[in-house]
Amino acid sequence: MSIRLLAVLFAVALFGCKSSEPEERSADERGFAESTNPMVPARIQARVDNIRYQRGTTLITNLERLVAYGQPAIPICVEGLKSDDAMTRMGCAYVLGRIGDTRAVADLEGALQDPVDYVRYEAASQLGNMGSKSGYGVLVEGLESDRVEYRFKCFEALRELSGHTFDYVHNAPDEERAAAVAKWKAWLEQINSENM
């Protein structure tokens, strides 16, 4: 056998089993690599810091990227619930609820006392999504808001969480809404009595 043929066979044997394409990593492996990267907390903090400046699809995209970080985002978003900016508090409530780690329930319950309506409504909605009924009262209260967009948010959250509508229409005249709100309040009393 010639030396040239031996060299070719050796090269095939040595490199033939190895793919020249980059190795694919599973989502779990990528997630682990991402969570152990020391730059991740700084990236998360930068995203949280930018919430106050964002609106529309830019805001939604940013919040969903924060949700995708999962566990590493939790302590930074819990701290974000204490921000001086209401949009940041609302965004962090959203992220914590979407991540769904029940260790954040107490922090979200604290946000139910926020002085800004939409922060309270977001915290209440996300608590409901996490299986907690502690925000239901805030959502029922929001059905009587002076702002139609807040009434809509609270109603949509309650409808999703309970499966009921009680004939509530967020932009109906006051008298019609009042009758439906009375039904929601009766439902809330029943829920609260069952939890005692």
What residue has token string 């006051």? 174
DSSP state of 22: P
Alpha-carbon gap, residue 88 to 45, rounded angstroms: 11
**Over its length of 196 residues, how does the chain's per-residue pLDDT go in tens digits?**
555 544 444 444 444 444 444 445 444 444 444 556 789 999 999 999 999 999 999 999 999 999 999 999 999 999 999 999 999 999 999 999 999 999 999 999 999 999 999 999 999 999 999 999 999 999 999 999 999 999 999 999 999 999 999 999 999 999 999 999 999 999 999 999 987 6
Q: Hey, what domains does the chain have and what are their CATH numbers?
A: 37-133 (1.25.10.10), 135-196 (no CATH)
The whole-number pLDDT of residue 38 equals 83
Phi then psi for residue 76, to 5 deg, are -70, -40
Cα R_g (the chain), whole angstroms: 25
The H or E element spanning position 188 is: helix 174-194
139, 117 in Cβ contact below 8 A? no
The reported pLDDT for the residue numbered 194 is 86
Q: How many CB atoms lie within 10 A of CB 139?
A: 24
- Identify the pLDDT of residue 195: 74
